[in-house]
Structure 1
């Protein structure tokens, strides 16, 4: 069980929506909103000036000056440990798949309930990703369309049976410690397997590992 408060930042150009997210975050035990911004540029500049980096960023896509796609790219490059939860009105399959492929840990629509937003924040911190039923369906449909592409045979032949076991448990939502307990290995060893999977599958985070593993047929 995580004891430290999860620090959250928000980037959205609508003041009323930011105020709503602030209430959703700060009303939940274990969460704290530490920074808010009206666009990606303000977010990126602002988090360099605060004492502690956010653990999770709730990120809109359509924003002036610097949009969510550009911001996701820069966050992944500069702060790879920050989890990115896209929160947008854009319900288009290509956007969902593209953002997850870029390194976002989850994708929510703005009509999501307060409970789901809170659940998603905890999930990306505990498991590294949050896929609700809608996003899971989009991913699977997108992967079916891409089945005509040749698989990454070189990477697949290098992935060990143990790494596949770890990948399967990650996809089921187990935390690092829970995976370690199930496989009778240390948490550090689990993290080593996760790092190797990221390298072999050319993934940016846990969400990317699962997406690429599904794409290559490593997970059913």
Structure 2
């Protein structure tokens, strides 16, 4: 049975092209396409059930991706959502992840990456691409997790907030350079490549609540 997909994007041409692409993937089918979060909310309130995955544009009129995620967290916290964005803005993406989003994709990705992302979210609940994280088994992740120092845990917790690195340095009473060293150490230990990767790691390992 095909996994049901809902696309929420206000760019009609992009949404239609995305629908055709997703429908070409084995095991997936787009059931509905909506142009903003308000339409999605209405559908979920009136519809018979939730889709397996929502592909959600972050920037839309009426009700954007952030507002939609806030509603979903309160009303459908188990809903799997993959964010779609034009620009990689760490603060916005981290905010989306904290609201329960399971990953994000830049809109100019290759079709193969989209298919991989859908399968990853369906299979594991999350999607983390190669620009975010290297693949590690759960056993390897647990080993890396046990190697973290108390201060690295403190930094990881703060990195999962919306604070800037300067604000994190001030809160930890450290120099910006020392904070950079903590960041690079965590990147190496956890096999991630960005701050977003740290947040996804923390969520998957239950180190922070969404």
Question: TM class by shorter-chain length?
Answer: 0.5 to 0.7
Residue equivalent to 2:118: 121
Residue equivalent to 2:45: 48
Residue equivalent to 2:93: 96
Residue equivalent to 1:64: 61
Residue equivalent to 2:12: 15
Q: Kindly provide the CA deviation profile for residues 100-140 of structure 1, in whole angstroms up to 9, marking residues without a partner as x.
A: 12210011110111111111111111101001122349xx8
Partner Cα separation in structure 2 for residue 100 and residue 114 of structure 1: 23
Aligned length: 156
Partner Cα separation in structure 2 for residue 207 and residue 128 of structure 1: 12
Provide the secondary structure at the position in 2 that maps to 1:34.
strand
The alpha carbon displacement at 1:78 in A equals: 1.1
* Runs of 4+ displaced beyond 2 Å: 47-52, 133-137, 142-150, 206-213
Confirm or deny: 8 A CA contact 1:101 1:208 kept in the other structure: no
Among candidates 24, 28, 46, match of residue 25 of structure 2: 28
Partner Cα separation in structure 2 for residue 20 and residue 10 of structure 1: 11
The 3 A distance-change label for structure 1 pair 17 and 32 is same
Structure 1 residue runs without a partner (length 5+): 151-170, 173-205, 216-220
1:209 aligned onto 2:206: no
Instruction: Give matches, 1:128-167, under 5 Å.
Output: 128-136=125-133, 142=159, 145=165, 146=168
Provide the secondary structure at the position in 2 that maps to 1:20.
helix
The 3 A distance-change label for structure 1 pair 36 and 117 is same
The alpha carbon displacement at 1:60 in A equals: 0.4
Partner Cα separation in structure 2 for residue 20 and residue 207 of structure 1: 32
Residue equivalent to 1:109: 106
Give the RMSD, CA atoms, in angstroms.
2.9
In the superposition, the TM-score normalised over structure 2's length comes to 0.65
